[in-house]
Amino acid sequence: MSSDDENDRIFKALAAPSRRAMLDVLKDQPQTTGDLCARFPALDRCTVMQHLKVLEAADLVIVKREGRERWNYLNPLPIKHIHDRWIGPYAAQAVNLLSRLKDDLEG
């Protein structure tokens, strides 16, 4: 799979507010699927599972089964790769612009 295909899956997964909210919950600690269903009462279990499937396909969630429970863990690495490719260079450029502006104002 190409890097662009992987990025497309990540961006698609992050496009839905419900999935971003699930990632916010998983950021604090792993959750069972049942716990996630309880935290999102507006969504039925099938919908939560569909969202988790998209997140898992994007490698944003890692699933570990323990007996009858399915534990969902946040995998922050794909988000870091997006940051490194798309956000980091722009942020560095903005910092450089601010530095030049400061130098111009002081000098």
Give me the pLDDT at residue 1, please: 60
**What's the CA gap between 107 and 101, in Å, rounded?**
10
Instruction: Give the domains, in start order, of the chain with CATH numbers.
Output: 3-76 (1.10.10.10)
Amino acid at 87: I
pLDDT, greater one: 79 or 2: 79
What is the chain's mean pLDDT, rounded? 92
Residues 6+ apart with CB under 8 A from 82: 7, 10, 11
Q: In what order do the strands lie in the sheet with 69-74?
A: 31-32, 69-74, 61-66
Please tell me the number of Cα atoms within 13 Å of 38 on its side-chain side.
5
Other C-beta atoms closer than 10 Å to the C-beta of 87 total 12
pLDDT, greater one: 5 or 43: 43
pLDDT of 11-21, one tens digit each?
999 999 999 99
pLDDT of 57-78, one tens digit each?
999 999 999 999 999 999 999 9
Give me the pLDDT at residue 4, please: 81
pLDDT, greater one: 100 or 44: 44
Which region among 28-32, 39-43, 82-86, 92-96 has the lowest average model confidence (pLDDT)?
A: 92-96
